[in-house]
Amino acid sequence: MLRLPGTGQTQKFTTTFGEDADHTIDPPYFINNGDGTVTDTVTGLMWQQTDGGEMTVQNAEQYPGTLTLGGHTDWRLPNAHELFSIQNLQHVNPSLDSVFFTTNAQYWWSSEKQINDTINTWCTNAGGGIGNKPDTETVSAGGTKNYHVRAVRYIHAPVLLQEHFVDNGDGTITDSLTDLIWQKAPSSDTLTWENALTYSDTLTLSSDTDWRLPNIKELQSISDETLTAPSLNSIFQATNPMAQYWASTSLPNFPTKAWYLDTHFGITTYGEKTVRLSVRCVRSNTPKISTGISAVNIESPKVYPNPFTDHVNIENKPTNAHYELSNMLGEVVYYGADIESQNFSVIQCSVFTLTHSLSLGLAAARYIVPDPRIIEPLIAFSILVTALENLFHQRVNEWRLIIIFIFGLVHGMGFAGALKDVGIDTSHFISSLLFFNIGVELGQVTIILAAYFLVSRWWGERDWYKARVVYPASSIIACVALYWAIERILA
């Protein structure tokens, strides 16, 4: 994998700093290729979008070799770490991003057997975990559960490492695969989940203070399926060979519980946050240089939000840096140094303006005669869809511009009805249409600017902004739009 993706968890469950949602590091980001495949832009892996269905582990091992999908024939069964990488811990049943993956499975087979065991295979489950499961549990083997297969392929050639883990000689271990730095010895005492967050956030080790409690994907990344009791490389010190380590990731459907890694075999499971477990902290690898006097941290640039819709923020921006911005099709849409001052929402606004201007002109000239009994419910429906997208989508998908194009056409027909009521001077048709359209645009811009200067400019970057502003406002708009749609349909 190119990089280890985040868990996808954005919801917060405590006021204590340090939980999963407080650290956005390489959030999951997929692209639907439109050919039955999905590209994970973080790991560099390509996945089968709709899994291959329920089957025995023996058939699952043979299935990818017979698969031709998206023009590719080099599909294979994913290993345990690859399979766990697409788990989204913000969701349960299934713990996958349903925008990109289709399934009704309870478990998914990996290519790895439990060490010293021929009847148990590593599998992920729809609840968000990974574990060693009996081959006989699936329906096709006489069991009662649905074990499915989802094939994967490399996009880039895999990297071969000389050393997976490196002892830095200062109480820390570097993972060469994920570029994470780990605490070599765990906490001297077991802690509750809340206390584990505080311990990690206040830890000073090897002159570094940016330690944190790892999320469950980070913890699982150091587990080795070829080892047991513990499932960790011997380079990691462990007073208890079967210790259980807290993760910063909570269960969204059981907020009083959090995930942990059980190093007896290496399974991920969960427990009440009041239980005392071991802690092993992690930090991102920040390179250092020597000044001849002391070591100085060179902090890597942090880009957020990523992906984004209109504005992007960059922390620790290097001097004289230039940035290249690409859309989800890989097309470069901006190159320059002052990327933070750009407003890329103009791309979406331009599409909406052009399309509603087009349909408004056609309707005003009576080349098309829209029926208000159809158009008015459609306008309400478009507002409802936009509000729901704000509530349930954490990213912009590749269909956004197409949706904006369609909604622009519909709204233009609605504006044509208003223009008909006002009346238009047919002797100055073009100028009258132009000024009416300008008036509509000025009205929209006024509303956007008012929202920005009254709310977004001051609080838009706050952690609570979405929960306290975007979600409630979008919910109200969705309810009003739904009422309007029903009222217009029944009118």
213-260 confidence digits (pLDDT tens): 999 999 999 999 999 999 999 999 877 878 999 999 999 999 999 999
DSSP per position, 380-412? HHHHHHHHHHHHH-SS--TTHHHHHHHHHHHHH
pLDDT of residue 453: 83
Q: Write the single-letter amino acid at 345.
A: S
Is 334 a residue whose pLDDT tops 70?
A: no
Query: Is the pLDDT higher at 127 or at 335?
Result: 127
Q: Each residue of 82-101: pLDDT tens digit?
A: 999 999 999 999 999 999 99
Same domain, yes or no: 349 and 330: no
Same domain, yes or no: 310 and 223: no
Is residue 468 in some structural domain?
Answer: yes
Same domain, yes or no: 382 and 456: yes
Q: How many domains does the chain have?
A: 4
Query: Is the pLDDT higher at 351 or at 484?
Result: 484
Query: Could you say which of 107, 126, 154 is where a domain stops?
Result: 154
Same domain, yes or no: 221 and 311: no
Q: What is the pTM of this model?
A: 0.63
Question: Which segment of 42-46, 141-145, 316-320, 392-396 scores lowest on mean pLDDT?
Answer: 392-396
CB 100 within 8 A of CB 93: no
Average pLDDT, the chain: 84
Is residue 257 in some structural domain?
Answer: yes
Same domain, yes or no: 356 and 481: yes
Is residue 11 in some structural domain?
Answer: no
Query: Could you say which of 130, 154, 178 is where a domain stops?
Result: 154
Is 159 a residue whose pLDDT tops 90?
A: no
Same domain, yes or no: 140 and 89: yes
pLDDT of residue 322: 62
Same domain, yes or no: 197 and 98: no
Q: Write the single-letter amino acid at 386.
A: T
DSSP per position, 84-110? HHT--TT--SS-S-TTT-B---SEEEE
Is residue 3 in some structural domain?
Answer: no
Closest of 97, 94, 164 to residue 126, by C-alpha: 94
Is residue 291 in some structural domain?
Answer: no
Q: Each residue of 166-191: pLDDT tens digit?
A: 999 999 999 998 999 999 999 999 99
* Helix (H) or strand (E) segment spanning residue 197: helix 193-201
Same domain, yes or no: 317 and 376: no
Tokens read off for 65? 């070799």
Phi, psi (deg, nearest 5) at residue 20? -50, -50
Is residue 295 in some structural domain?
Answer: no
Same domain, yes or no: 64 and 47: yes
Same domain, yes or no: 430 and 308: no
Query: Is the pLDDT higher at 307 or at 41?
Result: 41
The span from the CA of 132 to the CA of 117, in Å, is 10
Domain span at 190: 165-284
The span from the CA of 63 to the CA of 75, in Å, is 9
CATH, residue 60: 3.10.100
Give the bridge partners for 130, in sequence order: 124, 268
CATH, residue 247: 3.10.100.10
